[in-house]
Amino acid sequence: MALAKITTITGRGLAVPGNDIDTDRIIPARFLKAVTFDGMGEGLFFDARKAATAAGQVHPLDDPRFRGAGILLSGANFGCGSSREHAPQAIQKAGFRAIVAESYAEIFFGNATTIGLACVCATRADLARLAAAIAANPALEITVDLVGREIRFDGRKIPLTMRDSARDALVHGRWDPIGELLEGAAAVAATASRLPYLAAPQK
């Protein structure tokens, strides 16, 4: 079965503001004990959400106005810290299909891309405009267009940037290297059969 071609992502938005949001904040270490990633979304920003509640505040993820949002907004150097792949998994399992931030930590970006979670960049000023529009209208529909390299909302457009290799992988359905390898199992077997050092020994 071919991998999905991810060309546009449309949904409502939710902003978790701040720079240098690390993977331990995204998914605390105690949630990494799980054998699979199933249910990982329940731990997304768990400690930050708990702290907000204790302070008499409401974290955006617990705000009913943003329930069901599929596009996450944040700041610069998102996903920094440890290289845990659980961080993008938690975001995706919580229902997000795209992240819009000013920049990303390298390993987080790679881990996100290989599960089909689009990480695009926008300028700080454009992020502020988008976040303000979401705050004013939580039901606002947002479209992240990887082909057109733009984000559309409320009749407006802002440019997005994304590393060409990642964008190409998502748009052409080549974002999961393991899945792509498994799809080519027959070709791999055919090539292996022609290699003398992999051929069955003669009796």
Which CATH number goes with the domain that contains 103? 3.20.19.10
Q: In angstroms, how far is CA 35 from the centroid of its own chain? A: 21
Would residue 203 count as lying in a domain?
no
Would residue 180 count as lying in a domain?
no
C-alpha distance from residue 202 to each of 8, 88, 192, 194, 199 (Å): 53, 48, 16, 15, 9
Kindly report the pTM of this predicted structure: 0.88
Would residue 83 count as lying in a domain?
yes
Q: Which distant-in-sequence residues (6+ apart) come within 8 Å of 136 by Cβ?
A: none
Average pLDDT, the chain: 93
Buried b (16+ CB within 10 A) or exposed e, 24-48: ebbbbeebbeeeeeeebbebbbbeb
Integer Rg of the chain from CA: 20
Would residue 31 count as lying in a domain?
yes
Asked if the model's pLDDT at residue 184 lies above 80, the reply is no
What's the token pair of residue 103? 């920049």
Please state the domain count of the chain. 1
Would residue 112 count as lying in a domain?
yes
The residue range of the domain holding 22 is 8-174
Would residue 70 count as lying in a domain?
yes
Would residue 188 count as lying in a domain?
no
Asked if the model's pLDDT at residue 49 lies above 70, the reply is yes
What's the token pair of residue 74? 């944040």
Would residue 113 count as lying in a domain?
yes
Percent of the chain topping pLDDT 90:
77
